[in-house]
Structures are given as structure tokens and as C-alpha cells.
Amino acid sequence: MNPEIKSYFPILNQEINGHPLVYLDSAATSQKPTPVIEALKEYYEFDNSNVHRGVHTLGNRATEKYEGAREKVQQFIKANSTQEIVFLRGTTTAINLVAQSYGRANVEEGDEIVITYMEHHSNIIPWQQLAKERGAVLKYIELEEDGTISLENVRAAITDRTKIVSMVYVSNVLGTMNPVKEVAKIAHEHGAVMMVDGAQAAPHLKIDVQDLDCDFFAFSGHKMVGPTGIGVLYGKKHLLEAMEPVEFGGEMIDFVGLYDSTWKELPWKFEGGTPIIAGAVGLAAAIDFLQDIGLDEIEKHEHHMAAMAMDKMSKIEGLDIYGPKDPAKRAGIVTFNLKEVHPHDVATVLDMSGIAVRAGHHCAQPLMKWLDVTATARASFYLYNDESDIDRLVEGLRSAKEYFSDVF
């Protein structure tokens, strides 16, 4: 990875608590490069207007940029058509839309919804709610000892009663990369649809929704160097076409009568209200930025970072790393605990050294239960991290250990 990449991220060039910032919390949200910040600034300074309605020039420009961003996303995930790209607030909103629209129309009493133990809360609760409402059964696919998913367990969980399978592509805790393509195939054999939570995948891997043959794919802009508040739901056209909107209002209508209304065609029927125009513009700039570097290059870099971090961190006595031991099976996420030091305390000590990591349950309480821990610390790497960041982390962890062994 080009060492100059860091210089595109102005936020990284600062001191925190007297030390140069080392940002290792990209799985929570990524930092933003200058081209993305500039794209937002330019949009607001020159093009800002509402879309799809104004006859005036600015209205046209804003519409072109907004719909241009949709084309960019379509190409980025290799969707068949822009009609399959719905702009929403983020992954959470996208999963909720599928649960509330597709789910309510297709899941009946006694049907099954299948997820896994490594899901983020936002890929659990929408299904819990749907299952409760419809009298359906929510099933969890068991994990292997090393935090991976075996196709045997997938086959054991999915039956002809299964209507929806929803699975995270890359785990935000374990870093595990799941075989979603193979799972989609199994789901389809049983007549179920496959939803992929791509929040941690889209920033780091080349995505090809047609090759994965998933029915729905959701991701968020802010985890892939884009702005907060913009996300994408991909859905196969025939599925989206049959689905009812869940948000009603301006922008999504075709004709409004006194007692009945009709909807616009895809994808706009799902985009009620003034859309997230600037967010989409920022997301398009983010995609350009990532593609200029190359997603293959980014993925390679992250495997390299994960491998190096695991190697160096495992030399610290009393440090446990969760998830697959084989770096090839995981993305740039390393979740760990330091013996006898609570992860909050670890995170505070690291923060005092200018190092930002996440501590807590990472919005994955069922997984924490499976790991038999109440909380963990997590370092997540992205394209702007390098070996020196890992060295700082390791040094910080050693100091934390030393500090707490002194007070004990």
C-alpha cells in the first residue's frame, strides 16, 4: 500500500493526549479522505438543490449528481440495473426495510428465518420482531470453534420452511469472512431468499452481487470512507418490484388522490422524502477513491495487517485473540482481551497514548455470550493504517499490562 495514502486523511494528522493519533476503530466508522470532503463541499457550494422536481438548472445538476451516484454504486457492486439500488440511511435501515416489507408479505406462522450467532444487533432484532409478529421461528446457525461457519451447519439449519436467510459477510467482531455465495445456493435450494449484511465487506472486498447470487445486499457509506447517513439496499429487481414501500410521503409517489395513491417505479418508491443527496454524492466520491487504489489492493493490505497484528499481539503474554487463527479467513479486524485488565481499562490506557480502539460488546451480545465474555477490545485496520500503527498498538498494550500489574 502506498504510504502516502495517510496524507489524504486530514483527521489522522493530529495529536491525541500528546501522541500522534493511531486510529484503529474503522470497523465502527472509517475516516474520510480529502476528495470526499471536497465533493461534499463542492456540492453544497455549487449544486445544492432538491432533486427530481425543479425545472431550474441547480435542480438538474443535483439530480444528475444523485442519479450519477446510483450508477456508480450499481457498477461498484455489479448490480444488473440502477433500479436495484435503493439509497437509504444505512445498513440497519436496509435490513429493517427488507424485514418489514418482504418479511411481512412472505413469512407466515411456523415459517423460519435463519441467521447466525455472529450477527450485529441490526441483523438480529429486525428478524426477532418479524418472527414475533408473524409467529415465525428464528433459528441460529452454530459457529465452529474458531468462529467460522461450516456449510454442514448451514445445511442443518435451512429447511423447506425457511423463508429468509440473513448473514453477515464479514463479522464485525471476529473478522470472519463467511461463505455467503455457498449459503445463498443452499437457501435457494429450499426456496428461501438470501440477505447479506455487507457493512464490513463493502469497504474491504470486491463485491459482485450477481456472482454471490444474493437476493438482498446492504451496506453503509460511512464505513467505506464516505459520509454518515447514506447506505444502500441492493435487491433483485423482481423482488423489489413486488415489495411495498414502508415509508410514505413526498418523492416516492406517482399520483396522490384523496383516499388512495400510487407509487413511483423502482427504486424511488422506497425513497420517501427528500433523499440523502449530499450523502450519495459523498458516497460516489468514496467509491472513486477506493477504486483508484483498488479493492484487491485494499483487501490484500488488510490481510497483511491482520496477519502482522495477530503475530505481534500474540507475543504479548496473557492476550487472547478471538476468531479464526488463519489470517486468510479474516478481514482486518482483531478482537482481543488482555488477561485481568477489563477492555474499557485497556481502551482508556491506549487512548492516553493516542490510540483509538473500541471496547465493549460491539453490538453483538449473542456473540459475546457464545465467546463467554462480557466485553472485548477490538482493533480494526483500514487502508490508511500501516505497520507503525501496529507497533504503537503493541507498545500501548504492553504499557497497559505493565500499568495494571503495577497497581495490583
Q: Does 391 bind another protein (CB under 8 A)?
A: no
Stretch that binds another protein, among 222-230, 236-244, 298-306, 347-355 (CB under 8 A): 347-355
Q: Does 352 bind another protein (CB under 8 A)?
A: yes
Q: Does 339 bind another protein (CB under 8 A)?
A: no
Identify whether the C-beta of residue 91 lies closer than 8 Å to the C-beta of residue 228: no
Q: Would you tell me the crossing angle of helices 277-293 and 34-42 to the nearest 10 degrees?
A: 150
Q: Does 368 bind another protein (CB under 8 A)?
A: yes
Q: Does 262 bind another protein (CB under 8 A)?
A: no
| Distance (Å, whole) CA 308 – CA 310 | 5
| Distance (Å, whole) CA 39 – CA 287 | 12
Long-range CB pairs of 44-52 (<8 Å, 24+ gap) are 44/278, 48/277, 48/278, 50/274, 50/277, 51/274, 51/275, 51/277, 52/251, 52/268
Identify whether the C-beta of residue 294 lies closer than 8 Å to the C-beta of residue 301: no
Residue selected from 348, 387, 388, 405 as contacting another protein according to rule CB under 8 A? 348
Closer by beta carbon to another protein, 258 or else 407: 407
Closer by beta carbon to another protein, 37 or else 352: 352
Residue selected from 46, 255, 259, 408 as contacting another protein according to rule CB under 8 A? 408
Stretch that binds another protein, among 66-74, 184-192, 207-215, 340-348 (CB under 8 A): 340-348
Task: Choose among 263, 222, 264, 241: nearest CA to 32.
Answer: 222
Alpha carbon 107 to its chain's center:
25
Q: What is the largest CA-CA distance in the chain?
A: 74
Stretch that binds another protein, among 56-64, 166-174, 277-285, 360-368 (CB under 8 A): 360-368
| Distance (Å, whole) CA 82 – CA 85 | 5
Residue selected from 37, 138, 293, 375 as contacting another protein according to rule CB under 8 A? 375
CB atoms within 10 A of CB 366: 16
Closest distance between another protein and the C-beta of residue 16, in Å? Answer: 12
| Distance (Å, whole) CA 276 – CA 281 | 9
* Catalytic choice (137, 138, 253, 363): 363
List the alpha helices (DSSP H) in 254-386: 277-293, 295-313, 343-352, 365-371
Q: Does 124 bind another protein (CB under 8 A)?
A: no
Residue selected from 223, 361, 378, 401 as contacting another protein according to rule CB under 8 A? 361
Residue selected from 179, 294, 360, 366 as contacting another protein according to rule CB under 8 A? 360
| Distance (Å, whole) CA 383 – CA 204 | 9
Cα dist from 167 to 90, 141, 262, 292, whole Å? 16, 10, 33, 29
Q: Does 403 bind another protein (CB under 8 A)?
A: yes
Q: Does 46 bind another protein (CB under 8 A)?
A: no
State the Cα angle at 162 between 150 and 133, rounded to 5°: 120
Stretch that binds another protein, among 27-35, 191-199, 214-222, 358-366 (CB under 8 A): 358-366
Closer by beta carbon to another protein, 46 or else 408: 408
* Contact letters for another protein, residues 85-114 (x by CB under 8 A): ------------------------------
Q: Does 342 bind another protein (CB under 8 A)?
A: yes
Q: How many residues bind another protein (CB under 8 A)?
A: 23
Q: Does 20 bind another protein (CB under 8 A)?
A: no
Q: Does 235 bind another protein (CB under 8 A)?
A: no
- Whether 214 is a known active-site residue: answer no
State the Cα angle at 280 between 276 and 284, rounded to 5°: 175
Q: Does 210 bind another protein (CB under 8 A)?
A: no
Bridge partners, residue 88, by sequence: 231
Closest distance between another protein and the C-beta of residue 126, in Å? Answer: 18
Q: Does 405 bind another protein (CB under 8 A)?
A: no
Q: Does 349 bind another protein (CB under 8 A)?
A: yes
Task: For CA atoms 135, 219, 244, 273, give the dihedral sign.
Answer: positive
Active site residues: 363
- Under the rule (CB under 8 A), what is the footprint of another protein? 17, 342-345, 347-349, 351-353, 359-361, 365, 368, 374-375, 395, 399, 403, 407-408
